[in-house]
Structure 1
Amino acid sequence: MALKASPIWVCPRTPCSDLGSSDLWSRNSGSAFNLRFDLEKSRKWECCCLAVLAQRAITSVEDEKPNVSGVEPSWGIERTQGNESRGFHKDLNLLPKPLSANDLSSCSKDGSKVRVAYQGLPGAYSEAAALKAYPKCETVPCDQFEEAFKAVELWLVDKAVLPIENSVGGSIHRNYDLLLRHRLNIVGEVQLQVNHCLLGLPGVRKEEIKKVLSHPQLQALAQCDIMLSNLGVVRINTDDTAGAAQMVASTGLRDTGAVASARAAEIYGLDVLAEKIQDDDDNITRFLVLAREHIIPGTDRPYKTSIVFTLEEGAGVLFKALAVFALRDINLTKIESRPQKQRPLRVVDDSNEGSAKYFDYMFYIDFEASMAEPRAQYALEHLQEFATFLRVLGCYPMDTGL
């Protein structure tokens, strides 16, 4: 049965230069869902995608070449030189085999065929989140968050798992900005219980520690303020928690410790001098799972949808925008505002002074509803009345267990 809602996944009303990405405003964007399709077209599309995936599956990463700017990639079977380019394959056994339902289900169950990028080194909390999402996946460390995004875009990995917020430290704003800059889709979330440990060289007592290293992005040092203050140590920022553990192991300094996971201690041969040293026992980090293609939303389990939008100037416009969800009993679980980098200030008329300047914001919202539900479709259609730009970042199953 065809859905009756009109396409509302991207709403272009503002010049693309405001956000620095021209294809961000296209209604036919690769990340946008087209809600109008019939069963026959859907079947043809699925067959085409399976053939593409099969071709990708038999091509090694080393054989793939990066896309050259201005040249469209070829998703079909690569042509050979000479007359063979116009003929059939002589050996039918060399043709790529389409993926079966068993192949697809095996990937989704245990992640045994999935490569997942994360920021940090082995033993990082992000790696633990990736293994929670895909227990048998191959994890791929990246130096920076943006490199994890690019690894997915360049087909070096299948997915990326990146932190987005912590229950104590708050949001990780860098990743919100990267979500808008890159064209990846949110396909899942992971909530991870974070247990910080004080690590040191074998045989060292925690009273001997004078300096402690850890990652500032997740605010690991700030989350263990009471413990570290009692020890009277000097706090030093590093690239990530696992990197701090690696530095302690490599330098061999007995007066230097690290705040990291127990798994990092095992990997780098350190002792756990103290466990669960965070100030708040309920220390949870939420991670997003990113992929090149979106997943088809359903209603078989609790789903969450993430969107980003901008609003026109006017009194009560934000209130009206949020009301479209309240009117349909849709629960908002997250709202984050970020100034637009390309156009940070908005100039408007003022009756007294002639003009005034305000920050111009992007609004990120998570709400508990699936895009397969009419109420979610109607809510976003209603939101378009106030939004100058609207993009769905992803619709994905909620992580309901820790």
Structure 2
Amino acid sequence: MPVIAIQGESGSFSHEAAMRLYADAQILPCAVSPAAFQAVVSGAADAAVLPIENSLAGSVLEHYDLLLEHPVTIEREMLLRIEHNLIALPGTKLEEIEQVLSHPVALAQCRQFFAAHPAVRATPSYDTAGSVKLVMAGGERSAAAIAPARAASEYGAEILARNIEDNAQNYTRFLVVKPEGSPRLADADKGSLAFTLPNRPGALVGALEVLAELGANLTRLESRPVLGQPWHYVFYTDYQFGNPAMADAVLSRLTAICPTVKELGRFPSATSLPSA
């Protein structure tokens, strides 16, 4: 039985993503993201399943930094449809609810619900599933949470309203992170790299031209500050490649022109958008 680390409480979207990838997994909830990475590095977990990007809220920037800092590799990615549900104590009626707890991102993605129920107060909390845990522990029928359906079954709560998110095209991209040196999947066709640039005009253009000249398809580019070096940046890029030789050439060519390059992983593209 694989041990899979997640950031957040049991019943979270990360938990749901992990179970879809590893149906027989033992889930290791971690309070903070660095703990999930450390669990992989130390061997306490076989892998971690972590969000990297939401189609509405954007990137999980901390996870880019942690991928760079730790000796890990990305083995695969998956897309999870995000469905927000109003969850409360069993037997609670919607008209009894005065306060709704959830992660700030989840609250922001359910504005239409709060507009339709102006008397209900949105209260930011540390986690979606953790909010259900707090509601159940508090025992107040005036409180509810916005969270995945899995959180209701995890904590013995009841779903009062399903799919209250504003936008149905709400997906989160999750990564499976394993120890550095783990075997790549045979059908890998996507790479992820982090690199810095020399301080000269056209340096970024030169790096991107490497991908273009080799026929690699750039799918994402993100910059992050270099810790301890104000106004210096590391660039994260995802790209699709036709064969392993192309990925090898991309890595080799960038290494020749960039001060630092780290390959974060090669993995199969998650091309489908499954319903939750």
1:382: how far off? 2.2
In the alignment, does 2:195 pair up with 1:324? no
Q: Distance in 2 between matches of 1:339 and 1:211?
A: 38
1:297: how far off? 4.0
- The structure with the greater share of residues assigned to strand is 2
Unpaired segments ≥5 residues, structure 1: 1-112, 345-358
AA aligned opposite 1:330: A
In the alignment, does 2:65 pair up with 1:177? yes
Q: Which residue of 2 aligns with 1:276?
A: 163
Q: Which residue of 1 aligns with 2:21?
A: 133
Retained in 2: the 8 A contact 1:197–1:273? Answer: yes
Retained in 2: the 8 A contact 1:201–1:271? Answer: yes
How high is the sequence identity, in percent, across the aligned residues? 40
Taking only aligned residues, the RMSD between alpha carbons, in angstroms, comes to 1.6
Q: Which residue of 1 aligns with 2:239?
A: 367
Q: Distance in 2 between matches of 1:295 and 1:153?
A: 12
Unpaired segments ≥5 residues, structure 2: none
Q: Which residue of 2 aligns with 1:285?
A: 172
How many pairs align? 272
Q: Deviations over 1:136-173 (max 9, x none)?
A: 11111111111111111121111111111100111011
In the alignment, does 2:266 pair up with 1:395? yes
TM-score by length of 2: 0.93
Please give the secondary structure, in 2, of the residue aligned with 1:312.
coil
Q: Distance in 2 between matches of 1:293 and 1:380?
A: 16
Q: Which residue of 1 aligns with 2:106?
A: 220
Q: Distance in 2 between matches of 1:383 and 1:314?
A: 15
TM-score by length of 1: 0.65
Alignment of 1:1-400 (within 5 A): 113-216=1-104, 219-232=105-118, 233-297=120-184, 301-344=187-230, 359-369=231-241, 373-400=244-271
Please give the secondary structure, in 1, of the residue aligned with 2:222.
strand
1:270: how far off? 1.8
Retained in 2: the 8 A contact 1:302–1:368? Answer: no
Q: Distance in 1 between matches of 2:108 and 2:154?
A: 24
AA aligned opposite 1:329: G
Q: Distance in 1 between matches of 2:6 and 2:226?
A: 26
Provide closer, same or farther for how the CA distance between residues 221 and 145 of structure 1 changes in structure 2, counting only shifts above 3 A.
same
Retained in 1: the 8 A contact 2:251–2:263? Answer: no
Retained in 2: the 8 A contact 1:153–1:292? Answer: yes
AA aligned opposite 2:264: L
Q: Distance in 2 between matches of 1:181 and 1:379?
A: 21
1:207: how far off? 2.9
Q: Distance in 1 between matches of 2:261 and 2:52?
A: 20
Greater RCO (CA < 8 Å, at least 6 residues apart): 2
Larger radius of gyration: 1
Q: Deviations over 1:48-90 (max 9, x none)?
A: xxxxxxxxxxxxxxxxxxxxxxxxxxxxxxxxxxxxxxxxxxx
